[in-house]
Amino acid sequence: MDESGKRGDILSKFAVMMVALLAATLTACGGGGASAGDGGPDPLAADCTPSASIQYGSTGGVFEVAATLTVVEMQNLAQAVADGAHTVQATALTPGAVTFAVYALQNGRCSRAVAETALTAGTPARAAGSQDSARKRVFLVLDSSAHVLVQVCGYAGATGRACDPASDRISGVVTDGSGAAIPGAHVDVSNDGTTVSGVTDDHGLFTVETPTGTLPGSYVVNVYDGEHVPVGVPVTKSPDGVDTVGDVTLVDSSDKELAFELTPVVHHLGDGQFGGAENSLLQFPNAEGIARTYDFMLVDAQLAHASASVGLMAKGVNCADEVSFNGQVVGTLAPTPADGSYAALQLEVPMATLHPGANTATITSVACDGVDYDDFEYSVPVLKFQ
């Protein structure tokens, strides 16, 4: 994508709103007046009571917003005077609608400096202000009816950017089949031989930070808790450095799904000799071998089903790489996208190749030209019964 295309993508994702935080504006909106556009009461009480604070010019902070107002005070606004135009930014990191408003302490009361504006996942509202805004105590007010993670920061200039230019962020929410939040689930993001992990909070929300520019354009996020069936979620990297995974669903373990790894990792099979677009986005440069074998147990309830298949997330598959059960090749992996991105692959497994008790499954890289073994990556292989 060219630079103009990138700018267009960022501007379409980030709703930019320019307002002047002049003293006159603060006075006009002050005194507990009506909410913008609806004529309703000001949502804040007479006194600004911040629940947290962030430093202007820092990477800001991430807050969980729900039900009650979250009031964050912006500290060190004197720096904003030297910076001239500056930006106040709130970015919803997980699904859900949030309102964002800027207030200032005026004659002992909180007054609205910026009308509320809706936030959707990954979309901030920004306000570029004048020097006079630094002479007031400024508060950022966040509200939502659902639990949402929101990142808030303030920095110099009116051009939108990530709150923390040194870090990319991956966020989302993990729920079960009924939509209930799953606390304590692990979220792993792997790249270049290193795995960064996060854990969901009481409301299933998570956020993971990685150094900027280290993740490839397409990568997989592994989510698991040791009880449900783990999943691998493919992600296409966003140019703004904030990737919202969305709602990740973990289903209960049953006789219909069997994960080969309860703690999944990204595997790189092949000989480590690779190139081209198909392999440009591999997360682990070093191959762990030509094949990987899994041992697993099956019971009669699973074998009573009519059919079976094995599914996994993979990228970089160029050749007819083989999948075997109990020493018998049952099929080959389909080619993944030529741009090196992830694809969900599924392969039928004949029931006759499976039996009660101990079984094995093997995923094998093959030599496309008889010499060079195919280098590809995969994650979260799951045997499914129907």
Residue 29 has pLDDT above 70, yes or no: no
**By three-state DSSP, how is residue 265 classified?**
coil
Question: Bigger pLDDT: 259 or 122?
Answer: 259
The mean of the pLDDT values for the chain is 81
Instruction: Give the per-residue pLDDT at 195.
Output: 87
CATH architecture, domain 3-156: Sandwich (2.60)
Closest CA to 304 of 229, 356, 382, 252: 356
Residue 347 has pLDDT above 80, yes or no: yes
- Band (pLDDT 50/70/90 cuts) for residue 377 is very high
If you ran DSSP here, which 8-state letter would residue 229 be given?
Answer: P
Residue 56 to residue 134: CA distance in whole angstroms: 10
Q: Which residues contact 199 (CB under 8 A, 6 or more apart)?
A: 184, 185, 186, 187, 206
Residue 351 to residue 15: CA distance in whole angstroms: 53
**By three-state DSSP, how is residue 340 classified?**
coil
Instruction: Give the per-residue pLDDT at 327.
Output: 97
Name the segment(s) of the chain with CATH classification 2.60.120: 3-156, 254-386
Tokens of 32: 């507990």
Q: What are phi and psi of 28, to 5 degrees?
A: -65, -30
Element (H, E) at 24: helix 23-28
Q: Where are the beta strands (DSSP E) in 192-316?
A: 194-199, 205-211, 218-224, 231-236, 242-250, 257-259, 267-269, 291-298, 308-315
Q: Is the dihedral of CA 178, 179, 181, 186 positive or negative?
A: positive
Q: Which residues contact 299 (CB under 8 A, 6 or more apart)?
A: 255, 356
Please give the CATH number for the structural domain made up of 254-386.
Answer: 2.60.120
Average pLDDT over residues 199-216: 92
Q: Which residues contact 3 (CB under 8 A, 6 or more apart)?
A: none
Residue 1 has pLDDT above 50, yes or no: no
Residue 276 has pLDDT above 90, yes or no: no
Domain 166-252: state its class. Answer: mainly beta
pTM for the model? 0.80
Residue 105 has pLDDT above 90, yes or no: no
211 touches 194 (CB < 8 A): no
Residue 356 has pLDDT above 50, yes or no: yes
Residue type, 133: S
Q: Where are the beta strands (DSSP E) in 27-97?
A: 52-55, 61-65, 70-75, 86-92
Residue 3 has pLDDT above 70, yes or no: no
Instruction: Give the per-residue pLDDT at 25.
Output: 21
**By three-state DSSP, how is residue 18 classified?**
coil
Instruction: Give the per-residue pLDDT at 125.
Output: 58
Instruction: Give the per-residue pLDDT at 369.
Output: 80
What order of strands is seen across the sheet that includes strand 167-176?
205-211, 167-176, 242-250
Residue 103 to residue 142: CA distance in whole angstroms: 11
Name the segment(s) of the chain with CATH classification 2.60.40.10: 166-252
Residue-wise pLDDT for 323-332, tens only, equals 999 999 999 9
Closest CA to 155 of 62, 240, 85: 85
